[in-house]
Amino acid sequence: MKAAILGATGLVGQRFIQLLNSHEWFEIAALTGSERSVGVEYGSAVSWRMETELKRKIGELIVQPTDPRNVDADVVFSALPAEQAMDTEEKFAKEGFIVVSNASAHRMDPDVPLMNPEANFNHLSLIDEQRRQRKWDGAIVTNPNCTTAVLTLSLKPIAAGFGLRNVIISSMQAASGAGYPGVASLDIIDNVIPFINGEEEKVQKETQKILGAPGQPAEFNVSASCHRVAVIDGHTEAVFVQTQKPASPEEIIRCMEEFTAEPQKLKLPTAPEHPVVTKVEQDRPQPRFDRGEGHGMAVVVGRVRSDPVFSGVKYVVLGHNTIRGAAGCAVLIAESMKSQGYI
């Protein structure tokens, strides 16, 4: 099946290319970019920042305008900036394209699935609703903000087993989350930046939407404090949880270890065997050693312990922000959609 990537020169666009490059179902058929890049070979237009080499075949593709008329594809992955995504993604959906988007523009639209497949596979059902309301044959489906993707994957087994009442999360986010060039080195060497524009609101609302029923956000409270640290890839999150039913650290660990969902059952190509991996070492997870777990699609949880404030648990979770938290999640969504006949 043919895949197009909108906004392919940015950091998430590059990650899409890396992940789709040898994908067993999808083949990269078109790359689009901003005016500056259109008509140029992708290899010349991009500041390639992945650790693996850009394949020559991809590097020779000519960058197309981000316009439905220039794209022929079974699925369209959007790595567009939020402002541009708003209209452009709708334009593609109207023309019948399936758009799986990493942009925040449509995430909170009630009829747009905001999906982290292991956490809310059933939200795919919103697509039918969306088509009816918007009168189009295409679809827009979104993946969460990077911090939310990591958080909700770790929360899902707890929500399922014990129910959630309150969640407090403090993040230590990687520089790659801000794109390229993104965070200036003068801002992050020997430093922490305790602010990421709009991030905390996204984490709070998106988490409720994902862990709720389709169309019905969950009602537990979420409070986030988001910070940037000197890390290339991998968001680390300290999480404090008050559950509805009491749960010991051991029970929490067990429910995480046993957790699998539809993507695992359907053996989707990008689904990690264990979506939530737990560590017994007391100083893990660490970005440099754990961000590659499950090819970047698993989250790694450590330090599950009792919390004296909530009489609940606290733990640390880590996930790869541009794989599980962005491009990888979107690819898994597309695989989920294909498995259900939407693509």
Catalytic residues: 146, 235
Look at residue 276 and give its three-state secondary structure: strand
Torsion of CA 108, 113, 116, 119, to 10 degrees: 100
**Nearer CB in complex with its own copies: 175/261:** 175
**Nearer CB in complex with its own copies: 81/182:** 182
Closest CA to 103 of 154, 134, 140, 156: 140
Query: Which neighbouring-strand residues pair with 238?
Result: 170, 316
Q: Cβ of residue 227: shortest distance to its own copies, in angstroms?
A: 6
**Nearer CB in complex with its own copies: 123/279:** 279
**Nearer CB in complex with its own copies: 160/188:** 188
**Nearer CB in complex with its own copies: 123/324:** 324
CB atoms within 10 A of CB 170: 16
φ and ψ at 301, to 5 degrees? Answer: -115, 135
Q: Cβ of residue 228: shortest distance to its own copies, in angstroms?
A: 9
Q: Cβ of residue 212: shortest distance to its own copies, in angstroms?
A: 16
List residues binding its own copies (CB under 8 A). Answer: 11, 49, 51, 166-168, 170, 172, 175-176, 180-195, 204, 221-223, 225, 227, 229-232, 236, 238, 240, 282-289, 292, 302-303, 307-310, 314, 316, 318
β-strands 312-319, 299-307 pairing: antiparallel
Q: Cβ of residue 305: shortest distance to its own copies, in angstroms?
A: 8
Q: Cβ of residue 40: shortest distance to its own copies, in angstroms?
A: 16
Q: Which residue's structure tokens are 């901003």? A: 34
Torsion of CA 263, 77, 15, 320, to 10 degrees: -40
Closest CA to 114 of 263, 222, 215, 8: 215
Residue type (1 letter), 130 = Q
